[in-house]
Amino acid sequence: MSATLGTLLKLVKPEISIQVFERLDAPAQESSNPWNNAGTGHAALCELNYMPDSKDGSLPNPAKAIAINEQFQLSRQFWSHLVEIGALGDPSSFINSTPHISFVRGAKDVDYLRRRFEVLKDEPLFAGIEFSDDPKVIESWAPLLIKGRKSDQPIAATRVESGTDVDFGSVTRQMFEFLKRNNANFQANAEVKDLNRNSDGSWNLTVRNLETSETDYVNAKFVFVGAGGWALKLLQKSGIAEARGYGTFPVGGQWLRTSNPKLVEQHSAKVYSQASVGAPPMSVPHLDKRVVDGKASLLFGPYATANPKFLKNGSIFDLPASLRPSNLIPYLSVALTNFSLIRYLVGELLKTKAKKFDALKDFMPTASPEDWELLNAGQRAQVIKRDKVKGGVLQFGTEVITSHDGSISGLLGASPGASTAVFVMLEVLDRSFSAGIPDLKKRIQKLVPSYGSKLSADAKKAKASLESTAKTLKIK
Ligand SMILES: Cc1cc2nc3c(=O)[nH]c(=O)nc-3n(C[C@H](O)[C@H](O)[C@H](O)COP(=O)(O)OP(=O)(O)OC[C@H]3O[C@@H](n4cnc5c(N)ncnc54)[C@H](O)[C@@H]3O)c2cc1C
């Protein structure tokens, strides 16, 4: 997020001075690291949670799915611009074509997927979506889903060839390199410990050098708290009223990974399915081809785990330390009203390795344990916020918190995440810089042409954008 905001800012206002502090020894070691997230270019092409079934069997509502897709187009456009100006290198170093498939089992879900397809096939941003309930066709799309499948249960799948796998770690590192080449300063092993407002409205940051234990104080007119799971902690320290009433609900994750070339060569897709009852939407299991550092492997998961840390390299005291009088009621009401989620998380925690493996076998009946290793994924820090009726709600999206004067912004939440970083950081730019940068909208449109308009409302423009970004990014 910080790399995206910094790069946007440098391009719309080249004279701006930027200083980045990172507590770890390199960028992209937390959620943006390729092995800590699934690398799905979230465009709602295959993730069923963005378009849940209707309650009465009518056609499901595509609004959320279209909105997510629209947001991902902004990322494709911005990354294309960065490739064109040499800020990002060869596109295959960070984005690769990987068809997105939704795969369901059972008559009820087959019927839902068919209706979902009926709606999306006419949407410009979902052009080319295919549906099949024929096992032979599905086998030609993703052989590992069908091989060894004995049950005569009905199955169905949709496929969109323009889906992508993204190495968000590579995007992050390359954007920070671009910023460094353009006079921004990136300091690793530097932890922001505190933030205080100066009398002139600027901010004073207390920064600890974790190698020397020295403390430095830095002044800034604008601060972006791009601290992932620790953003809430720093926003609370800033004392801004807008951060009151927020909490964080951490969900850990694990994957199974294989690099066995015989398996990898048989699966070139990201296959998403339905979530189990009570599971948070981001814990929907999926079987993905990943390309990281030019090497392909398969990833299955994530399995949700219970872990109180807000960052993978965080502290077990993160959750208790985030409690404040203003967020006690939201925390308590989320704990009391999300019983099925908590039961699901406890159930996941108690699952043996063999039980976890059964979930993979539902996708890939021929999977053998000796091919797969279990890895820890990143921490998701979901937003808990005040709610007038319920006291508090758990929110699965992201939320930008900005002070009333626009001098500090921070991002809470995890999903849809890195894929929509451009959309979310454009919101930060709009909130904090529209008054200070003349013609901001026009400047942004040079980098992200569809900013401020809706591609989904104009089939011609949608087609043109998909084609031109596909060409520059060398994807389908
Ligand atoms: C299991 C999992 C799967 C996911 N899958 C996907 C996916 O398929 N597609 C997708 O688009 N998104 C996915 N996401 C979400 C995505 O990874 C995140 O939304 C995104 O990476 C967040 O980026 P960020 O910059 O906000 O946070 P991070 O990448 O976590 O970066 C925050 C940085 O701030 C640093 N930091 C924290 N506190 C301080 C401090 N006090 N001082 C200095 N530095 C500090 C941290 O060390 C870290 O480097 C997934 C996330 C998880 C956990």
User: Position of tokens 């091989």?
Assistant: 147
Nearest atom of ligand 1 to the alpha carbon of 39: 8
Contact 20, 219 (CB under 8 A): no
* Per-residue pLDDT reduced to its tens digit, 170-205: 999 999 999 999 999 999 999 999 999 999 999 999
Give the Å distances, CA to CA, from 344 to 50, 251, 393: 20, 11, 18
The per-residue pLDDT for 356 is 86
Kindly report the backbone phi and psi dihedral angles of residue 352, in degrees, each rounded to the nearest multiple of 5, phi listed first. -75, 170
The pLDDT value recorded for residue 277 is 65
Four-residue CA torsion sign, 442, 448, 451, 456: positive
Residue 275 pLDDT = 77
Pocket residue to mutate for ligand 1, from 37, 211, 375, most atoms within 8 A of Cβ: 37
pLDDT tens across 105-133, in order? 999 999 999 999 999 999 999 999 999 99
Which residues have CB under 8 Å from 154's CB, separation 6+? 105, 106, 107, 110, 133
Q: Which ligand 1 atom lies nearest to the CA of residue 253?
A: 1
- Distance between Cα 31 and ligand 1 center (Å): 3
How far, in Å, CA of 369 to CA of 144, rounded?
Answer: 15
DSSP 209-222: ETTT--EEEEEES-
Give the Cα separation of 222 and 430 in Å (integer): 13
Spatial CB neighbours of 419, under 8 Å, sequence gap ≥ 6: 40, 41, 42, 43, 71, 72, 75, 166
Q: Which atom of ligand 1 is nearest to the CA of 398?
A: 19
Tell me what pLDDT residue 184 has: 98
Q: Kindly give the distance from the C-alpha atom of residue 156 to the centroid of ligand 1, in angstroms, as a whole number.
A: 33
- The secondary element (H helix, E strand) that includes residue 280 is none
The answer to whether the CB of 466 falls within 8 A of the CB of 125 is: yes
Please identify every stretch of the chain with a pLDDT value under 70, giving residue numbers as ranges.
277-278, 280-283
Residue 256 Cα to ligand 1 midpoint, Å, equals 20
C-alpha 259/C-alpha 244 separation (Å) is 45
Report the separation in Å between the CA atom of 51 and the middle of ligand 1, taken as the mean of its atom positions: 25
Residue 408, classed as helix, strand or coil, is strand
Question: In terms of Cα–Cα distance, which of 183, 234, 270, 228 is closest to 424?
Answer: 228
Tens digit of each residue's pLDDT (9 = 90 or more) over 398-441: 999 999 999 999 999 987 789 999 999 999 999 999 999 999 99
3-class DSSP state for residue 91? helix
**What atom of ligand 1 comes closest to residue 30's alpha carbon?**
30
Q: What is the pLDDT of residue 151?
A: 78
Q: For position 330, what pLDDT does the model report?
A: 95
| Residue 223: C-alpha distances to residues 117, 218, 220, 246, 337 (Å) | 43, 11, 7, 19, 35
Q: Which atom of ligand 1 is nearest to the CA of 207?
A: 42
Residues lining ligand 1, judged by CB closer than 6 Å? 1-2, 21-24, 29-32, 36-40, 42, 168, 191-192, 226-228, 230, 234, 253, 302, 377-380, 411, 414, 416-419
CB 472 within 8 A of CB 88: no
Q: Where are the domains of the chain?
A: 2-188+222-473
Q: Which two tokens stand for residue 469?
A: 């970004």
State CA 269 to chain mean position distance: 18
Q: How far is the CA of 458 from the centre of ligand 1 (A)?
A: 33
In this predicted structure, what is the pLDDT of residue 346?
80
Residue from 123, 153, 124 nearest 138 by CA: 153
Hey, how many other C-beta atoms are within 10 angstroms of the C-beta on 441?
14
Q: How far is CA 59 from the centre of its chain?
A: 27
